[in-house]
């Protein structure tokens, strides 16, 4: 199987390397990731300028071809189906992540991790998003990533649908299990507040402060993470469905 791995945190993300390493068990892996941080870019693509594309010789996963591009996560996937690879050599599976931060609730709409996966399904290629709640404890993710990846690859979805996996930030002792069929919460994952700060030369800077919500409705992705579960759900592109 030909597998494309991308992300929105950039080519040097340690979580990107973890996902590429796990994907090696399933097939031939190519990594194409942004040269820079691209969080919250959603499904944005690059227009009106060239996109610098370079091989990454020191990518830390042996046997994986890796490239960086001065572009967005959706671009990383899009170019793979528009001439970068020879016909018949395009990816058969797209994995996006592992994002440093949860992608749950309404915030899915802003996620470039999700945007890359949604680009894949436009070409009828299956895709899976992986995200990790911030906090620095990734032991649960490391233990369960490979088994979840193998399971979801074997379970095909309908047209325009992608898997969305979120790992909790908790110790193995606090971990409570895996919950499937989680729905996106009807609330943002982050409670955002914008405020203005006056500039000495006139005008204002607009600044954002964000904090995580404390919970959401039962059966949702946000509540699963809050309770110490891995959340597995499906996101649907209604334009295609």
List the CATH number of the domain containing 160.
3.40.1210.10
> Whose CA is closest to 240, among 117, 152, 144, 96?
117
Whether 180 maps to a domain, the answer reads yes
Longest dimension (CA), the chain: 59
- Using the structure block, give the residue that is written with the tokens 């030369």: 201
Which residues span the domain enclosing 228?
Answer: 2-185+215-236
Q: What is the DSSP string of 180-221?
A: EEEBPPSSBSEEEEEEEEE-TTSSEEEEEEEEE-S---TTBH
Q: What is the DSSP letter of 105?
A: B
Between CA 164 and CA 37 the distance in angstroms is 21
Total tally of structural domains belonging to the chain: 1
Q: What is the pTM of this model?
A: 0.94
Tens digits of pLDDT across the chain (241 residues): 999 999 999 999 999 999 999 999 999 999 999 999 999 999 999 999 999 999 999 999 999 999 999 999 999 999 999 988 888 899 999 999 999 999 999 999 999 999 999 999 999 999 999 999 988 789 999 999 999 999 999 998 999 999 999 999 999 999 999 999 999 999 888 878 888 888 888 888 988 887 777 778 899 999 999 999 999 999 998 776 6
Whether 89 maps to a domain, the answer reads yes
């Amino acid at each position: 199987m030909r597998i494309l791995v991308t992300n929105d945190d950039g080519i040097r993300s340690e979580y990107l390397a973890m996902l590429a390493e796990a994907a090696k068990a399933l097939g031939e892996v190519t990594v194409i990731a942004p040269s820079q941080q691209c969080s919250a870019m959603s499904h944005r693509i690059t227009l009106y300028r060239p996109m610098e594309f370079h091989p990454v010789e020191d990518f830390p996963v042996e046997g994986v071809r890796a490239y960086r591009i001065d572009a967005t996560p959706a671009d990383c996937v899009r170019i793979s189906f528009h001439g970068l690879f020879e016909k018949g050599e395009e990816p058969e599976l797209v994995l996006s992540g592992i994002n440093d931060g949860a992608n749950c609730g309404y915030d899915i709409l802003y996620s470039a991790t999700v945007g890359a996966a949604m680009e894949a399904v436009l070409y009828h290629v299956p895709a899976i998003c992986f995200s990790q709640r911030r906090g620095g404890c990734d032991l649960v993710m490391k233990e369960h990533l490979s088994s979840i990846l193998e399971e979801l690859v074997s379970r095909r979805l309908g047209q325009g649908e992608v898997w969305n996996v979120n790992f909790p930030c908790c110790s193995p002792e606090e971990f409570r299990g895996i919950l499937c069929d989680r729905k996106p919460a009807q609330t943002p994952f982050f409670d955002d507040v914008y405020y203005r700060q006056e500039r000495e030369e006139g005008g204002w800077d607009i600044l954002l402060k964000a904090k995580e919500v404390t919970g959401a409705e039962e059966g949702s992705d946000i509540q699963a993470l809050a309770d110490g579960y891995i959340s597995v759900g499906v996101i649907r592109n209604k334009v295609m469905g």
